[in-house]
Structures are given as C-alpha cells and as structure tokens.
Amino acid sequence: MSRGKFITLEGIDGAGKTTQRAWIERCLQSRGIALVTTREPGGTPLGEKLRELLLGAHAKPNPETETLMMFAARREHLDKVIVPALDAGTWVLCDRFTDATFAYQCGGSGVDWGRVEALERWVHPALQPDLTLFFDVEPEVGLGRAQRIKQPDRFEREALDFYHRVRAAYLRRAQEHPARIRRIDANRATAEVHQEVEHIISTI
C-alpha cells in the first residue's frame, strides 16, 4: 500500500483557506482518493481544548508559552491522526501546520526563528507536508474579509502591523522551501484561485 499524501493550507486570516479547503476536498474525492480533513491547532480532543484556550484567551499568553502549546497540540495530532492516516494510504488535508507557527509566533509575536526550527526537528524530524498551498493576500484585504464573515478570535483582533509581520514570515518560509510551498495569489476572484489550485493538486 502506498503512503498517503500530506497537504497543508496556509495563509493569514481571510486568505480564503476555508473556501479552498472545500474545493480541494471535492477535487480529491472526485479522483477516488481517501481523505482526512483536519486543522491546527486542533484535530484531536486535546488539540481542540488547546485551540479553545489559544484562540479564545482574552489575555495574550507569553509568546513562547503559546509556541509550546502549539507544538504540544501538534505532537498529539501527528500521533493520533496524521501519521496513522498517511501510513494507511489515506491523504491528509490540514488547515495550518508548522509553517503557521513560524508565521504567527515568530513573525507576529517575535519568537526566535531558531527555537521554532529546533521544535520542528524534535516534534516531526522526518515528516514534512508533500505540498503546502500558501494563499497569499494583503493583510488589509484578508482582515476585511474575515471581519465580514465571523466574530474575530484573539489572533484576528491583532493590529494590522502584526499581520504584515505574519505575511513576511510566510514569504520567508516559502523562499526557504520553494519545492514544497506553492504561493497562490489570493487577492484574485475565487474562481481564478480554484483553477490554479486544481492544476497544482493534479500534479501530485
């Protein structure tokens, strides 16, 4: 049995990941691919509890505490959901993974890049996504979209300059891993983004 593929979706809030995730699910299922869709932080009972603490907190925790909580949830997620699915030949589609920690905790909150690299090597040294779709949108556009759709969580209440730093960190990460991370211009109409996404995933 061949190992499943691991696809992650990244981008700032309002980049359109939720819409594109549903589109990707339909595309893959139309090809007869067994698929698990999940998210971070979350994906397991423990992860969802940590998600509630991280996104719902009114008082911002220490950024390093936040980073460690993200990786604690990720370790559980890998053990209970991601790795078993991949080993069984099932594809995994995950809304955010470690690239988001580099973006939000390093870029947004100033955690040292090297410390997160060390955590990445510890928590999943032999596993990276087969493909990461980075939906890139100007922060002014993304946050405007997000605010029209739902009540903002703690991260979505951050100032605009926070999101400019997050986007810059995503762009840095994409430069460091060009074979894996595919940047997609998410400022365009949804149909145009759909078309590019479908082309990309048809090649893996």
**What is the residue-level pLDDT of the chain in tens, covering all 204 positions?**
799 999 999 999 888 888 899 989 999 999 999 999 999 999 999 999 999 888 876 678 899 999 999 999 999 999 999 999 999 999 999 999 999 999 999 999 999 999 999 999 999 999 999 999 999 999 988 676 656 565 555 566 677 899 999 999 999 999 999 999 999 999 888 899 999 999 999 888
1: in domain: no
Domain that holds residue 89: 6-201
CATH label of the domain that carries residue 25: 3.40.50.300
Q: What is the pLDDT of residue 155?
A: 63
Q: What is the edge-to-edge ordering of all strands in the sheet holding 6-10?
A: 35-39, 91-95, 6-10, 131-136, 181-185
Question: Looking at the 3D structure of the chain, how many domains does it have?
Answer: 1
**Inside any domain, residue 193:** yes
Is this prediction's pTM over 0.85?
yes
The pLDDT value given to residue 57? 62
**Tokens 């870029």 sit on residue:** 107
Is residue 62 situated within a structural domain? yes
Instruction: Compute the distance between CA of residue 162 and CA of residue 110 in angstroms, rounded to an integer.
Output: 10
Q: State the number of CA atoms in the 13 A half-sphere of 109 facing the CB.
A: 18
Q: What is d(CA 38, CA 5) in angstroms, rounded to the nearest whole number?
A: 14
Res 148: pLDDT: 59
